[in-house]
Amino acid sequence: MPVVLYAHGGAYTIGQPNWRCFHGFCSTLSRRANCICVSLAYRLAPAHRLPAAFEDGALALRWLLFQARLQHHDNQSPSFTCDPWLSPNLADFSRLFLAGDSAGANIMLKVSMDAADSGLENLTPVRIRGLLLIHPGFHCEERKMTHLDERNRKRYHLALPIGETLDYPPVNPIHPSAPSLSPLSAYPHILIMVAEADSRYDMTIRFFEMVRAYCLHTDLFISPGKGHQFHLKELNCSESNDLYDRLANFIKVCGTTNEEIASGRLQKQT
């Protein structure tokens, strides 16, 4: 099965993988996409300011690489064995996806760009098939703030490195001073999701336009009339169902193996 490394949201200050909303998201995605979700427990601010969360995301990717290499050398390394959920008969590390929502999307964006800068060939036998950036938690100094944004702004300032502003590149990747997004050209597929009523909508659309210049297969999915992370709270609405359908289809299609294509087991959808 494909493997999804997932980072939850929470403005870098709250949240754990065992929270009902995040665990429910992973359970639903696993069921609908027939994949294994590895949910990242990263260090939180203010005790651990950024870049701690980014470092933990990178460490999780290295741990998955270790697990993947154990699959190939189990008989030669009797002292180490794969995690049972990531054993060779379950996990296919040649079909890895990086996913996150809100601040978690920012984490996976940073992890993916750093991995590309270091050379994806160094991750063999892991192969990253795509990025799923769900309602990215972008902020900037100039944007007008709603009451909810102001609360998140305060949380972000508890998480930012001392002396940084909301234009810190991992928080505002579209700022003129932010590094180029060109490392994303290393990835075959990217899915960016945004809710129409999300106050970050305009920033996310601009981000999509910038990413599309580097990754030809960059898709945008808009949930009409909905707000930030609505799918974690409105579990039974049609828009949540559509969002999960799009995520599942992205994983199934982008994670298709040559054997599945040859046997006709997966029919691509448009």
Q: Quick: pLDDT tens for 194-252.
A: 999 999 999 999 999 999 999 989 999 999 999 999 999 999 999 999 999 999 999 99
pLDDT for position 266: 47
Q: What is the pLDDT of residues 11-28, one digit of tens each?
A: 999 999 999 999 999 999
pLDDT for position 148: 56
CA contacts within 13 A on the Cβ side of 34: 9
* Six-digit token string for 251: 């994983």
Of 106, 103, 83, whose CA–CA distance to 36 is shortest? 83
CA distance linking residue 195 with residue 200, whole number of Å: 9
- Contact between 127 and 93 (Cβ < 8 Å): yes
CA distance linking residue 234 with residue 212, whole number of Å: 30
pLDDT for position 149: 72
Query: How would DSSP label each residue in 122-188?
Result: GGTT--EEEEEEES-----SSS---HHHHHHHHHHHHHSPTT--TT-TTT-TTSTTSPPSGGGGG-S
Q: Residue 270: pLDDT above 50?
A: no
Lowest mean pLDDT among 35-44, 45-54, 248-257: 248-257
Q: Residue 38: pLDDT above 70?
A: yes
Topology of 3-263 in CATH? Rossmann fold (3.40.50)
| Domain range summary for the chain, segments of one domain joined by + | 3-263
